[in-house]
Amino acid sequence: MKCLRTCLPLLAAVVLALTTEFVANNWLNPRYALLLLYIALNVILVVGLNLINGFTGQFSLGHAGFMAVGAYVSAALTAFHGKAALGALVFLPAAVANGVLLNTALLGGGLAAAVVGVVVGLPTLRLRGDYLAIATLGFGEMVRIVILNLDVVGGATGFGGFPKLTTLFWALVWVWITIAAVKNLVLTVHGRALLAIREDEIAAESVGINTTFYKVSAFVVGAFFAGVAGGLFAHFLLYINPASFDFLKSVELVVMVVLGGMGSLTGSVVAAVVLTVLREYLRVLGAYRLVIYAALLVAMMLIRPTGLLGGKELSWRAIRVRWQRLFKRGAEGRGRSAAA
Amino acid sequence: MDRFLDLLVNGIAWGSALALIALGYTMVYGVLRLINFAHGDLYMVGAFLGYYIARLLSPNVQHSVLGGFLIFAGSMLGSALLGMLIERIAYRPLRRAPRLAALITAIGVSLFLEYGGQIVFGADPKFFPQFITSRPLIETAAFTLSNLQAFVILFSLGLMVALHLLVMRTKVGRAMRAVSYDNQAAALMGINTDRIISLTFAFGSALAAAAGIMVGLLNPKIDPIMGLLPGIKAFAAAVVGGIGNIPGAMLGGLLMGVAEYLVVGYVSSSYRDAIGFAVLILILLFRPSGLLGKGVVEKV
């Protein structure tokens, strides 16, 4: 029975991912398939960032830096060792071998980003609020500039020459892993510690929570998933350039987190989907696209400063409760009017 | 040591411009606790206003003292009005909202100005009219100081002194300090806080516009996204000096400017944009409230 509860969603997720991939490859316009992939990547990035910004309340503005580390490390792994690895895996069917290689590279990229997360997080997380924001912003810019000066990975001209391994299937699997991991983390005692730090760091410390440990942990988990997303991004586009991971990318991710609602996982997913699609469809406006995008952003924040979902989650249960309440109130209203 | 003094002169000139931008960040942060991300773009708008005013003037007026005055005054006034308008439309409705909402709005305004600028001014760089002709003022074996650099350094210094006197010696300045110290108490003492906040945006934007024109003179290529990086650097400078602290912003700006030129001279020009952030992170680690900032004691 216990297995059923855990295995069934897993099975469902795999089947769903495979179906989506099949549909995308065979019937869908490639443009929409690309859009789906971007949505998947942004969901991974935003959910990871929400753990740092939303649940732990540590305002990080350098998430693109972690994505860059993951992208470059995983791309370097497959570019320099990919052929040898595929040679060793020749006994497997091609799709499986590619999957193994991709996931090894993604884990490599994610772990590298996580290590960078520790190195950056330990000193900077002593800072608070705006100071942390500007320090992480500085870190993100420094990663970009260091890569610009690394000739091994092409420097400013960009880096290519690695195989196309990312498929929609793997992107969706990683979306599932990210959401499951962050959701389960948030629901445990560790998640409560993160929330306590967000609400009041001093109070959290005084009830015995090791705030440094938890802040750095949240940072590291977010960095890991950003690294994975970077790896998926690289192995899809087959060419990466430091300019893809600039300050504006970090800003875009923070905007998605805040717009979706700080500390709301479903909000993050909704915001990532809505904003990615919005950017794509505003293309018809040509040069006015980004102006309108910026104006919409300001308008959305003015109308709903706590984000689309606030801190709430969208779930079947919440919808049912809301529906029942609506229904009950309707019944009461009728009862009262009958009495009168 | 051969190029040291030369680099120092260049660094101080660039640093004075950064300091002027940093002042706007620090003032707005002081009264609103908001990182006004759009501030760097007001510097861009200032440069473009200067460009259009200079083109309106005939060449001999342009090179006269009157022309220079008109360019600076017009651009600073225009940017000040724009700064007040932005505060009124985008920030004031969010005064009671979570601080992050205001921050995201600021980022939205910044993107709006950058992309709007690409449509209004055109995306390609423009050549800034050199209404002050650059010629060497002091030439020695060790360094050259052009009249332009001297002008930039002295004029920035003048503006900073004027701002300092304004904040420390006038009634408006006292009101600003009061709002920055305690917004609600200031309002209870009969200070019109909305007006003071609006004025703070006006002064900050005017200083940024002056910096925009001066950078246009030093490095005559202006484009609509020129404000992005200097804006971030100036904010970093304000934090290095201690945010909310006016002398701190000046110190931070000069420090960052000089550090950048030393890196260009002795390491590599490609690390120019990274050094500022390295300085920032180092200083924050050892003095989390900046060089001149007062440490905040947290009370429970």
Yes or no, beta carbons of B277 and A141 under 8 Å apart: yes
Assess B259–A contact: CB distance below 8 Å, yes or no: no
pLDDT at res. A338: 44
Closest Cα in chain A, distance from residue B35 (Å): 8
pLDDT at res. A337: 45
Q: How far apart are CA A138 and CA A160, in angstroms?
A: 26
B126 part of a folded domain: yes
Residues of B in contact with A251 (CB under 8 A): 107
A322 token code pair: 């809301």
Determine contact, residues A17/A176, Cβ cutoff 8 Å. yes
The partner residue sitting opposite B112, judged by closest CB among A202, A255, A298, is A298
B209 or B138, greater pLDDT = B209
Q: How far apart are CA B89 and CA B95, in angstroms?
A: 11
Domain region containing B102: 17-227
Handedness of CA A298, A302, A307, A308 (dihedral sign): negative
The partner residue sitting opposite B104, judged by closest CB among A131, A247, A255, is A255
Domains of chain A by residue range: 16-244
Assess A221–B contact: CB distance below 8 Å, yes or no: no
B202 part of a folded domain: yes
Yes or no, beta carbons of A134 and B236 under 8 Å apart: yes
Q: For the segment B226-256, what is each residue's pLDDT rounded down to a tens digit?
A: 988 899 899 889 988 888 888 899 999 999 9
The partner residue sitting opposite A301, judged by closest CB among B101, B268, B284, is B101
Residues of B in contact with A287 (CB under 8 A): 118-119
Assess B38–A contact: CB distance below 8 Å, yes or no: no
Assess B278–A contact: CB distance below 8 Å, yes or no: yes
Burial A301-319 (b: 16+ CB within 10 A, else e): bbeebbbbbeeeeeeeeee
Q: Which of residues 39-58 of A touch B (CB under 8 A)?
A: none
Yes or no, beta carbons of B115 and A203 under 8 Å apart: no
Q: For the segment B36-87, what is each residue's pLDDT rounded down to a tens digit?
A: 889 999 999 999 999 999 988 888 777 888 888 999 999 999 999 999 999 9
Yes or no, beta carbons of A258 and B101 under 8 Å apart: yes
Closest Cα in chain B, distance from residue A77 (Å): 26
pLDDT at res. B299: 56
Residue whose structure tokens are 């320099």: A80
pLDDT at res. A336: 47
Report the chain B residue with the minimal C-alpha distance to residue A253. B104
Yes or no, beta carbons of A134 and B235 under 8 Å apart: yes
Which percentage of chain B shows pLDDT scores above 90? 50
Yes or no, beta carbons of A254 and B271 under 8 Å apart: no
List per-residue pLDDT tens for chain A, 340 residues long.
Answer: 566 666 777 777 777 777 777 777 777 777 888 888 899 999 999 999 999 988 888 888 889 999 999 999 999 999 888 888 888 887 888 888 888 899 999 999 999 999 999 988 888 887 777 778 888 888 888 888 889 888 888 888 888 888 888 888 899 899 999 999 999 999 899 999 999 998 888 899 999 999 989 999 999 999 999 999 999 999 998 999 998 898 888 988 988 888 888 888 888 999 899 888 888 888 777 777 778 878 887 888 788 777 777 767 777 777 777 777 777 665 554 444 444 4
Determine contact, residues A75/A235, Cβ cutoff 8 Å. yes
Q: Which of A167, A166, A161, A214 is nearest to A192 (CA)?
A: A214
The interface pTM score, or ipTM, of the predicted complex is: 0.77
**B144 backbone dihedrals φ, ψ, rounded to 5°:** -120, 135
B50 part of a folded domain: yes
Q: How many domains does chain B have?
A: 1
Q: How far apart are CA A110 and CA A221, in angstroms?
A: 9
Beta bridge partner(s), residue B146: B136
